Structure 1
């Protein structure tokens, strides 16, 4: 689902963190600055910069942790941005941890090329180094019973 996130009214997410992760991935994929305007235990509203009509709103179903999309407008009037708040070393580490597990010696150039291919963004070499370090830490904990 996260490779090409798509949303529909009535779509369910098992919990708030999965919904937010999908919205963040969507924003990074399109190169848009998406912010969470409302974010409490019952609802999440994400919007783009001022004047852009993009909005997506999901709220909990009764007392369960499941969120359902109630309102959305996926149209954008804003421009694509190369500097995204969410496209940080933690996001990159989580996104590419499997690739780094398969090839621990994955070069910085290869990692950068993958990000450029997938997101059309140019990360700094420092971001790549931090992402590799975080991914290694994530992968260590994956193997612990």
Structure 2
């Protein structure tokens, strides 16, 4: 772990002035990138702190090291590897005159051993990460889903955690579908407004158990 100040001189640093920053183009993170191919570098830019935290966590899990947040604010984020004496450290902060977050200091080296069961792999994160897989096959067996998850993130996951993740993913999908159905009346109103001669009817049955209409 390194303290702020002169002790951080060994870290790679981004240009400090606007003039120096504008003299070269820095890479911007693109969400279409494959996580396995992303490498952090000084000057790399992210849309906001949420995006930076999300990708840093995903990369740490994929690479097999546990992240420790020393500072996690809207415009300043500093993280290190949780392993004792591992030198990895990264610091990102807001760029001048915009909300973009930029990597300002970086020590990319890891001297730690790979962590197989990463404590940062939680069921909520798994649900968000693999919601599309569950959407494609809602009845996928937990054992099969576990194999898919472990193959993709290179981390060990218990069956109970996979089961919780699947249930949360199904809940996410259910809420998404419910939200879309809730807008049917808005769609119908818009159709009537744009095409006054059009007749629009929405048919549904009321489910007494759920206390809501079923389309």
TM-score normalised to structure 2 length: 0.63
- 1:106 aligns with 140
Asked if 1:79 is matched to 2:120, the reply is: no
Deviations 1:87-125 (A, max 9, x none): 110111111000101110111111111122122322111
- 1:14 aligns with 47
Counterpart selection for 1:118 from 112, 127, 152: 152
Stretch deviating more after TM superposition (59-68 or 34-43): 59-68
> How many residue pairs align between the two structures?
145
Structure 1: any 5+ residue segments left out of the alignment?
none
Asked if 1:32 is matched to 2:57, the reply is: no
| SS at 1:35 equivalent | strand
Q: CA deviation at 1:2?
A: 5.2
Q: Write out aligned runs for 1:40-79 (5 A).
A: 40-49=73-82, 50-62=84-96, 64-79=98-113
Whether the aligned pair in 2 keeps the contact of 1:108 and 1:129 (CA below 8 Å) is yes
Deviations 1:29-65 (A, max 9, x none): 0110111111122200110023111111110123533
Whether the aligned pair in 2 keeps the contact of 1:29 and 1:119 (CA below 8 Å) is yes
Structure number with bigger Rg: 2
Stretch deviating more after TM superposition (81-90 or 26-35): 81-90
Bigger relative contact order, structure 1 or 2, given CA contacts below 8 A and separation 6+?
1
| SS at 1:137 equivalent | helix
| Distance in 2 (alpha carbons) for counterparts of 1:74 and 1:2 | 19
| SS at 2:35 equivalent | coil
CA 1:13 to 1:51, structure 2 compared with 1: closer, same or farther past 3 Å?
A: same
| SS at 2:152 equivalent | helix
Structure 2: any 5+ residue segments left out of the alignment?
1-32, 181-215
